[in-house]
Amino acid sequence: MLRVSRRTIALTLSLVAGLTTTLSGAAAMSVRKDMTPPRPVSLCQPVAPGAGEQNASAQKILAEAEKHLGDQPHALPHVHTEGTLPHQGTRDESIAAEKDWPLMRQAALAWRLSADPRYLQQVNDYLAAWASTYQPDFNPIDETNLDGLIDAYVLASNGLHPETRDATRALLRKLGNGYIERIQQFHGQQLHEPRRGTTINNWQSHRVKLVTMVAAALGDTAMLNTARVLFQQQVADNILPDGSVIDFKERDALHYVVYDLQPLVQAALAAKPFDSGGDWLRHTAPGGASLGKALDWLQPYAEGQRSHQEFVHTSVKFDLDRARVGEAGYSGLWDPKTSSTLYWLAAQLDGRYLPVAQQLAPQPPAWIGACH
């Protein structure tokens, strides 16, 4: 079986990054010329008005979106929740502001489902506010929930005001290129030693998700090729041959298995409509690891065949601090239902995960169910 050295991987990342810069610049010039970039490609295809019966998820999206039509954006230059306990620092303010991101996605779905221009205007206003205010910090835990903003852009891009569309694309490009640059930097620093810590744990899975979703939203083939390399490297670094992940070893918690795998599934979903290196779910690293094998490893716990006491042997003090202040999920038995979103997303990649998803939650989260 082919084995890839760290030096080869680093050189590949460097070459792909150069191609990303060149092609991204050409794409940006094209966008400025005609001001109408192509509509992003996505698996999410809500049922348009008159195109067929809308499911329960679509009806829920419309009902909830109507309740929030009068809401206003709460854009901040920065958000920070990582490593904080309740009410510490800017945590509360950041959590309140981040509620804008799924609300944008909900409004964008409502527009696609209803063609009601009020929802499109709301998406436009929210994207304009965040694109003109937010400055990425490149902390993937703080920024992982930007997937809601990215989804909103993908769903509504062809209806946005040109200036909002361009400003949002500029923010996304800054986000994607910034994460790539930082990943290349610490991969280069660890070229001759084992990668460790946040360069291979759940933090890296969230970086890979953001890069992939941005690349798909922009239709940037070069960036998507970079994302594929990063995804494959994370599978090799993070998932062990038996399907367990290093986060489970470090944290002794299935909570972090879910938190590690869900962004990788989202990355695979974003890449799926593109010809970007085959089936990401089944891609197998030289050591035998794959995302599919990791989902299979977790499945007996999700189905209730096995149980686990959470964080008993964690190596991270912050986990114990969260248990001490009573944060839910940081002690006691793991609740399988907390993996329901993960398996509903995985079921979009492979139908064999549908039974476990339905066992965990009879219906998918509305933002997933309304897409299909």
Q: What is the DSSP string of 26-87?
A: HHHHHHHHHS-PPPPP-S--PPPTTSS---HHHHHHHHHHHHTTT------S----TT--TT
Residues 6+ apart with CB under 8 A from 335: 329
Q: Which of the four pLDDT bands, split at 50, 70 and 90, describes residue 322?
A: very high
Q: Which of the four pLDDT bands, split at 50, 70 and 90, describes residue 37?
A: low
pLDDT in tens, 138-186: 999 999 999 999 999 999 999 999 999 999 999 999 999 999 999 998 8
User: Please, which residues bridge with residue 245 across strands?
Assistant: 239
Q: How far apart are CA 237 and CA 194, in angstroms?
A: 10
Q: How many CB atoms lie within 10 A of CB 364?
A: 24
Q: Which of the four pLDDT bands, split at 50, 70 and 90, describes residue 17?
A: very low
Which pLDDT belongs to residue 41?
81
Identity of residue 278: G
Taking residues 237-245, what's their average pLDDT? 97
Average pLDDT score, the chain: 89
Q: Which of the four pLDDT bands, split at 50, 70 and 90, describes residue 196?
A: confident
The answer, yes or no, to whether residue 19 has pLDDT greater than 60, is no
> pTM of the prediction?
0.89
Domains recognised in the chain with CATH numbers? 6-369 (1.50.10.100)
Which pLDDT belongs to residue 71?
98
The encoded tokens of residue 231 equal 């995804």
Q: What is the DSSP string of 157-205?
A: GGGS-HHHHHHHHHHHHHHHHHHHHHHHHHHHHTTTS---GGGTSHHHH
pLDDT in tens, 245-288: 999 999 999 999 999 999 999 999 999 999 766 799 999 999 99
The answer, yes or no, to whether residue 35 has pLDDT greater than 70, is no
